[in-house]
Amino acid sequence: MLFNSIAFLFFFPVMVVGFFLFPKRFRWAWLLAGSCYFYASFVPAYLLILFAVIIVNYICGRIMISKPFEKVSQATARSDDRLILETKHTTSSGIARDGASGYFFKKLSSVSKRKWALGIGMASQLGMLFVFKYFNFFQENISAVANLLHWNYSMHALRLLLPLGLSFHTFQGLSYLIEVYKGRTAPEKHFGIFALYIMFFPQLVAGPIERPQHLLPQFHAEQTFSWPRILSGIRLMIWGFFKKVVVADRIAILVNPVYASLSTAPGPTIAITAILFAFQLYGDFSGYSSIAKGCARVFGFELVENFERPYFAKSVAEFWNRWHISLSSWLRDYVYTPLIFSVRRRSRLWIYTCIVITFLVSGVWHGAGWTYIAMGLFFGLAIALGAYTKPWRDRFVSFIRLQKLPWLRRSIQITITFTLACIGWIFFRAPSIKDVGILFGRLFTQWGEVFAHANDAAYIKKFVLMGTTPSVYLTTIGAVIVLLGVDWIQEHHPSLLNPPSRIARVFLATFLLLIVITFGEFYSKTFIYFQF
């Protein structure tokens, strides 16, 4: 069930009405049942995989009950200074038990038990992710190397359908295990609420990736009916629909045919396509995030912010602090930081290496393909080189006295950062590395030819307007301008978008809804990040 579908138009109001009609102690069950229905509407079998993730995380979390969160009695210290921690409860046979750990973990120290639980939980989830998402990629590459070296390699690819949002589920589950292991959050005792933490339908398929200490307490809190909050959530949803169906889906009509015929597209068309796709991806993914955040707000829950006007960033590092924030912060906390502190002496070279490794992980997370790996490598090198060259660039700015024109310097930085983002998204969008080579090879061709045919309406329509009429093309560009304009206002004058008068807020939401209805592309086009 897509957000931009007729089915969701009926599903969501029913969920909201049922949620506030149900007694507070049963609302979690209503949301969980609705989330199961929402996810099963794609492929029912997906539920089995999702519940496997839930069960593994729940059991391992319960095993990792640590001293701050459970009353324990301390036994005699061992010679290796590790302590055996036992609960005060025993079975009828006198065998000490520790929650869900059972007799197998009875004689293990608390530290060992928690490490085993963390290892088993992480290995099972990463293993599941590998089988469904990466096995065929590795198999194909190993097979190619075996054929090159004339080895006898007979393993075949698996015919498995990638469950929607598996990467998001995995990272959210892993964050729960790590946070519990570190003692930063208590293991969730209520299985149903924990299942809802993984399955909450607004962010079920494409995030944002939530941390347990942020979302789980909200499921335990009592949510009251509030018209201002509900209207705020609906306004945010409408803005998300604008970004999806007016910006992203209209741009897709222009971009998709060009990527289908890269070998014949002239340089100007490819350049325009690269710029437009940057806004398509932004509108599509941030649109989903806004709809998800608005949906959750209607129920009384707040999801983390996933985008903060990334195309106004002044460096690639700042860009990734504004883009897909829940993933960027996840990689920072669970990949980059442990890597940095894994060595005692942290040289600049090691820091830059950790940056590149982290973004390679980001690329692999996005998909099983060399284009995604190349994308991660590109952004990682861009950030590392940016950090390395910063002193020289600052001296150059001082030499030409550009700091006396901060608006010009800021504009140059934003333009360069946006250009680098567009280049990175080429790897994201291209079907293969071969297509990336074709695209960059065609990028600098036929510029003079396009200018020479500036008065040829048919030529301009084909290669500049990309096959559409001027009115359709201008409408699409106008939608992008509106998107950037709203982002600029949010960046500099956010109060203008949230006037104190309720009438004014309702008017803005109604006006935006009319724009969505009038100019939106309503053909139930899937969201780009559903494939991850």
The pLDDT of residue 84 is above 70: no
Contact 293, 249 (CB under 8 A): no
The confidence band for 89, taking pLDDT boundaries of 50, 70 and 90, is very low
Of 496, 505, 486, 519, residue with least CA distance to 307: 486
Mean pLDDT of 218-228: 90
Higher pLDDT, 75 or 121: 121
Contact 153, 146 (CB under 8 A): yes
**Are 369 and 393 within one domain?**
yes
Q: Which two tokens stand for residue 178?
A: 């790590």
Higher pLDDT, 319 or 135: 319
**Are 404 and 515 within one domain?**
no
Q: Which two tokens stand for residue 405?
A: 């024109």
- Percent of the chain whose pLDDT exceeds 70: 90
Q: Tell me the residue range of the domain where 59 lies.
A: 6-67+110-139+162-222
**Are 441 and 527 within one domain?**
yes
Higher pLDDT, 389 or 98: 389
pLDDT per residue as tens digits for the range 10-43: 999 999 999 999 998 899 999 999 999 999 888 8
Distances (CA, A) of 77 to 71, 101, 115, 183: 18, 21, 19, 21
The pLDDT of residue 304 is above 50: yes
Mean pLDDT of 167-194: 92
Q: How many domains does the chain have?
A: 3
**Are 383 and 504 within one domain?**
no
Mean pLDDT of 527-532: 77
In sequence order, the β-bridge partners of residue 86 are: 73
The pLDDT of residue 522 is above 90: no
Residue type, 443: L
Q: What is the DSSP letter of 130?
A: I
The pLDDT of residue 347 is above 50: yes
Q: Kindly tell me the burial class for residue 68, based on how many C-beta atoms sit within 10 Å of its own C-beta (0-12, 13-18, 19 or more).
A: exposed
Stretch among 148-162, 187-201, 468-482 having the lowest mean pLDDT: 148-162
101 occurs within a structural domain: no
pLDDT per residue as tens digits for the range 277-303: 999 999 999 999 999 999 999 999 999
Cα distance between residue 125 and residue 117, in whole Å: 12
Of 115, 114, 136, 133, residue with least CA distance to 125: 133
Distances (CA, A) of 185 to 51, 64, 182, 196: 22, 11, 8, 17
Q: Which two tokens stand for residue 487?
A: 């982002």
**Are 188 and 277 within one domain?**
no
Cα distance between residue 55 and residue 247, in whole Å: 39
- Give yes or no for a cis peptide into 208 (omega within 30° of 0): yes
In sequence order, the β-bridge partners of residue 90 are: 96
Provide the pLDDT for residue 349: 92
Cα distance between residue 441 and residue 263, in whole Å: 9
The pLDDT of residue 176 is above 90: yes
**Are 419 and 446 within one domain?**
no
**Are 421 and 439 within one domain?**
no
> Phi-psi region for residue 111, left (φ > 0), alpha (ψ -120 to 50) or beta?
alpha
**Are 318 and 178 within one domain?**
no
Q: What is the DSSP letter of 531?
A: G
Cβ atoms within 10 Å, residue 142: 13
Q: What is the DSSP letter of 347?
A: -
The pLDDT of residue 441 is above 60: yes
Claim: this prediction has a pTM higher than 0.85: yes
The confidence band for 150, taking pLDDT boundaries of 50, 70 and 90, is confident
The confidence band for 109, taking pLDDT boundaries of 50, 70 and 90, is low
145 occurs within a structural domain: no
Residue type, 479: A
**Are 427 and 449 within one domain?**
no
Cα distance between residue 361 and residue 335, in whole Å: 8
Higher pLDDT, 255 or 77: 255
Provide the pLDDT for residue 418: 97
Contact 472, 268 (CB under 8 A): no
Higher pLDDT, 347 or 463: 347
**Are 52 and 200 within one domain?**
yes
206 occurs within a structural domain: yes
Provide the pLDDT for residue 141: 81
Provide the pLDDT for residue 57: 92
334 occurs within a structural domain: yes
Mean pLDDT of 191-206: 92
In sequence order, the β-bridge partners of residue 74 are: 85
**Are 450 and 462 within one domain?**
yes
373 occurs within a structural domain: yes
**Are 410 and 517 within one domain?**
no
Phi and psi for 346 in degrees, rounded to 5?
A: -100, 95
Cα distance between residue 39 and residue 164, in whole Å: 9
DSSP letters, 42-110, are T-TTHHHHHHHHHHHHHHHHHHT--GGGS--EE-PPPTTS---EE-S-B-TT--B--TTS-GGGTTS-H
In degrees, rounded to 5, the angle at the alpha carbon of residue 281 between the alpha carbons of residues 506 and 508 is 10
Query: 3-class SS at 201?
Result: helix
443 occurs within a structural domain: yes
Of 290, 357, 280, residue with least CA distance to 311: 280
The pLDDT of residue 76 is above 60: no
The confidence band for 110, taking pLDDT boundaries of 50, 70 and 90, is low
Stretch among 84-88, 198-202, 349-353 having the lowest mean pLDDT: 84-88
267 occurs within a structural domain: yes
Tell me what the pLDDT averaged over the chain comes to.
85
Provide the pLDDT for residue 111: 65
| Length of the chain in terms of residues written | 532
Cα distance between residue 346 and residue 330, in whole Å: 21
CA atoms within 13 A on the CB side of 286: 25
Last residue of a domain, one of 200, 222, 244: 222
Cβ atoms within 10 Å, residue 313: 20
Residue type, 95: I
The confidence band for 66, taking pLDDT boundaries of 50, 70 and 90, is low
Cα distance between residue 115 and residue 465, in whole Å: 58
Last residue of a domain, one of 222, 245, 260: 222
Q: What is the DSSP letter of 400?
A: T
Provide the pLDDT for residue 484: 95
Stretch among 95-99, 203-207, 310-314 having the lowest mean pLDDT: 95-99
Provide the pLDDT for residue 102: 46
pLDDT per residue as tens digits for the range 475-517: 999 999 999 999 999 998 888 888 778 888 888 889 999 999 9
Last residue of a domain, one of 365, 397, 431: 431
231 occurs within a structural domain: yes
- Enclosing H/E stretch for 349: helix 348-366
Cα distance between residue 500 and residue 422, in whole Å: 38
Three-class DSSP labels, 142-180: HHHHHHHCCCCCCCCCCCCCCCCCHHHHHHHHHHHHHHH
The pLDDT of residue 228 is above 50: yes
pLDDT per residue as tens digits for the range 122-134: 999 999 899 888 8
